[in-house]
Amino acid sequence: MSEQTLYERLGGYDAISAVANGLLPRLQADSQLGRFWNHRGEDGVAREKQLLIDFLSSNAGGPVYYTGRDMKTSHRGMRISESDWSAFLGHLDATLDSFDVPQREHDEVVAFIQSTRTDIVET
């Protein structure tokens, strides 16, 4: 019997969607990170949330196809700093903790997100 994918161990689409729905408001409300959502319409934020759910689901081994751009293209020109990245990771940790994500899965999610750092952080 093969081991379940991270997608399955996290609880599938609904669980990943719930985490995204918990994470984005934290990021938007953050005094340092909120600038990335200034002047964004509701539709743009909703699309971004769906792309986040699809990206995470797909990369966790789920049956979801991510149709968005690669991370380097998506974040180019945003001037995301190491400080921004650290603040983001703090919110990611807090969000995963708020959903009682088991430590193994928590660590795997963070490790995957960390693997995207060089494509996202510019300064």
Q: List the domains of the chain with CATH numbers.
A: 11-120 (1.10.490.10)
Residue 66's Cβ-count burial label (10 Å; 0-12, 13-18, 19+) is: middle
Whether 86 and 54 have beta carbons less than 8 Å apart is answered as no
- The pTM (predicted TM-score) of the whole model is 0.92
pLDDT in tens, the chain (123 residues): 679 999 999 999 999 999 999 999 999 999 999 999 998 899 999 999 999 999 999 999 999 999 999 999 999 999 999 999 999 999 999 999 999 999 999 999 999 999 999 999 997
Instruction: Give me the sign of the Cα torsion angle 65, 114, 120, 118.
Output: negative
- Residue 38 CA neighbour count, 13 Å, CB half: 8
Half-sphere exposure of 111 (CA within 13 A, CB side): 8
Rounded (5°) CA angle 39-86-117: 85
pLDDT at residue number 1: 64
The answer to whether the CB of 51 falls within 8 A of the CB of 14 is no
Query: Tell me, what's the pLDDT at 95?
Result: 97
- Both structure tokens of 81: 């700093």
